[in-house]
Structure 1
Amino acid sequence: MAVKERADARVRRDQALTACCMAAAAEGDALLSSARRAALLMDCLAVLRAAHPPERAAQIGMGEFRRGLHGPLGSLLPLASETADRFDALHLFDAHGLVRDAVQDLCREHLVPQVALERHWSWARVRAEQEERRLYEILRRLSPEEYRRARALLGQHPAGPVRELRRAWDRLWMRFDFFEAVSDWPWCQLDGWWYPCPQCHWPMRVAQHATTVEVRCEAHAPRGVHYRRTLNPAGAGPSELVGTGKKATPVQGLPASTEHLALARPVWRYGVLPTLMELHLRNEVADLPHVTVEMWPGQLRPDEYDLHITVAVPGRRTQHFRVDAKAWESVVALGDALMERQPPPYPLTIVLPDHQDRERHYLATRLRGRRITVTTLTRLVKRIKTASGAPQ
C-alpha cells in the first residue's frame, strides 16, 4: 500500500472511530431528548458512511449502526491499513450498558477536526496533544526550580478545597488556569459529595446501577481502586464506601461545591498520571546501589524526557535511561503523536502503565528505527534492578 493510501486509510478509520465514540456518548446520555439524540446519531452515521467505500456505506443503516455501537467496533470501522490496531475488538459500553470512561479520551486522542461534529460537541474541538502542549508551554516558561515544583504539585495536589490548593501551589497558583469546580462535574458526584482516588487524588467516577452504586478511579481501577456504596441514613453526611479492590483504601467524601476544584481532565490524564508514574519509578530505584536519578531536568524541553536514571556499576559500562512516561488511553494515537516529532538524538525509553503491557509491542513496532524503547513501569524497575546488581 502506498504511503498516501496508508495515510488516507488511517484518516478514514480515525473519522469512523470518532463518530462511533460521539454516537456512543449520545446513546448513553439518559438526559438527552429523543429528538436531540436522533439528530446527533444521524450526523455521526453520515460521518461513518463517508469513511467507507460507497458500496459498504450504502449497507449501513441506523439499526446496524446502533447495534454495532454495543458490540465490537470491527463491524462498523473501515479496514485498517497495513498496521493493525486494537479497535476492531473495542467495546464502547461496559457490561452494565454504560459508556466506558475512556471514550472521551479516545475522542480527544483520535479527533479528526470536522465542522459537522464540532457543531454539536464543543469538547471535541481540542485534541489531547494540543492540551498537552498548552500545559507544557506554561511549564517551559518556568525556571528549573519552579518547573520541578510544578511537576511535583501535579502529582500531589490535583484536586481539593480551594484554600488548600492555593496554599500548596503558592506563587504558582496564578500561573496555572487548569482548575475547574467539581460542582460542574455531575459524573463524580454522589448525593452532593465527591471522593478522591487514594492514588492520584483526583475525583473518582460514580456509576449508578439498578441496585448498587460503584465508585472507581478511571485510571487506577485496573490496579484495584474501586468501591461500592453502603446505605447511610439520610442527612448523615457522605455515604460510606466499601472497598471492592485490593488497592481500595478508605476515602472520605468531600462536598461537591464551588469551593472544591480539580485539574481539568486532559491535565489529569496527560500531566498528573505520568507524573505519578515518574515519582513511583524514582521511589523504586533511587536507593539502589550504583543508581542515580535526576528528576525533571528543567533545562530541557519538558516534553522530551522527565527522568535521567544512571546505572554506574564499577567495572561495567555505564547505562543511561532517559525516561518519558505516557498515560494515553490509545497507544495508536500516542504512536502517531510520537511519529510527528523529530527522532530523539539519544536512546529514549517510553514507559506505559502496567495494564497496557500487551500493547507495548504495537507501539515498539510503530516506533522502530527511532532509538526508542517501549516498556512498562514494572518491567523498567526490574531492568534497572538487574543492571544495578540489586536483588529482585
Structure 2
Amino acid sequence: MRTGSDGVKGYNAGAMLLHWAIALAILFQLAGGFVMMRLNLLPDGSRFAFFQWHKTVGLMVLTLTLARIAWRLLNPPPAHAPMGAIEAGAAHLVHGLLYAVMLLVPLSGWLVVSASPTAIPTLLFLSEHLPWPNLTIPAGWRGEGGEALAATLHTWLAYSTLALLGLHVAGALKHSVLDRQPSLSRILPVGHLPRQSTALLAIPLAAGLAALFLGGGLAVGQSEGAAPSVQSAAVANAPVPAALGGWAIDKAASSFTYEATFSGKPMTGTIGAWNADIAFDPAHLDQASARIDIDAASITVGDPFVRSSAPGPDGLDVTSHPNVTVALDRFAMTDAGYIAEGTATIKGKSAPISVPFTFEPGADGTAHVVGSAKIDRLAFDLGAKNDPAAQWLGRDILVRFDLKAARAPAPAA
C-alpha cells in the first residue's frame, strides 16, 4: 500500500557525491578482498601491486568517511517517507552500524599492516613520495600473532560490511518497489524530488578534515622515512691491502651492482662500500685468490617496498651482521674466460659461490675485470620469513661487477 510522501526531499550534491564515492570504493575493496583470498586468479606480476592498491583504497574509504561524518553534522539527512517505528529503528541501526564499519574496517586493515613483522611500507598510490605511517601500537602486538589476530578482526568486519550493505540495499528496494515511496531517488542525482539545501560551512569542514587526516599522515610518513640510517664506514674507509703480486682497485672507476625480480619486474641496486683484495696471474692460477668485503648497510635497494625491510632482521640484518664477505680460492680457465670458486658469507651463513669473469690486461699494467655471480637468497635467509616461496621476490640475485685495477706496488722490504 502506498503511503503519503509529502515533504520528502533528496540529499544535496555533497552528500550524494560522498555516498557514491564511498560505496564504489567499498565494493572495490570487498571484491578485492575475495580476490586476495584466491591469489591464483591474478597474474604473478600483479599480485603485490593488488595488495598495495587495497591498502590505498582502504585509506581513501577512511578519509571519505571522516569527510562524510563532518558533512552530516551540518547537513542532517533530509525528510524521508513515513515508516513504522520498528522499521525506522531498524533503518537507523543499520545506518549507524554502516558508519561504524566504514571506520573500523580500514582501521583494522591499518592495524594488520602495523602489526605485521614483514615491515613492508604503505605507499599511497604506489608512490614512494607518499609514504603512510604505521599505527603506534604496543610492542607486544607486533609480530605474527598480533598480525593474525588483526587480520581475523579485519576479515569479520568485512563480512559484516557485506551483510549490512545487503540489508541497506534490501531496505531501499523495499521502500521503492513494494511501498512505492521515493527512497533510492533521494540519493540519486536524477528525479524530481526537491533537494536538501546545503550548509556551506560543511564544505570547508569536510574538506579540511580530510586534508588534515591525509596531510598529517603523509607528514608523519615523510618524517619517518627521512630518519637517517646508521651505516658503518669501516669497509668504505679501510685501506685497500696491497698483496704481493696483487692488484690495487680503482674504486672510482669500478662498480658492484645487482639485479633481482620483484613482483614480476626487475629490481636493481648498488653496493656502495666495499674492498677487494685480489691476487691474480693467468699464468699461475693455482696461486690466485680474492677476498671482497662489503658493508651490508651500503647496499641500496631500488624498489621502495623492499627498501625499508632490507636492512632488518629478515633482510641483511645489518645491525647483527654488518659485513658481507666473499672469499675465492679456486680459479680455472674456461672457454669464455675464467671462473672462481669459493664461499660467500651473509648474515653469518656461508654457501658456495661460483664467479665467472673475464680478465683483460692492458699494456700499461692495468686490467679490466668483468663478471657476475648468482646468489640464492634463501640460502642466506634473505626474506625467508616474508617470502619463503619467492611469490613476490625472486629467489635468485644476480650480482655484477666491473673492476678497473692496476698492479699493486710490491711492499717495501
**Do they superpose with TM above 0.5?**
no
Q: TM-score range by the shorter chain?
A: under 0.3
Structure 1 or 2, whichever has the larger Rg, is 2
Q: TM-score, normalised by structure 1?
A: 0.27
**Is the strand fraction higher in 1 or 2?**
2
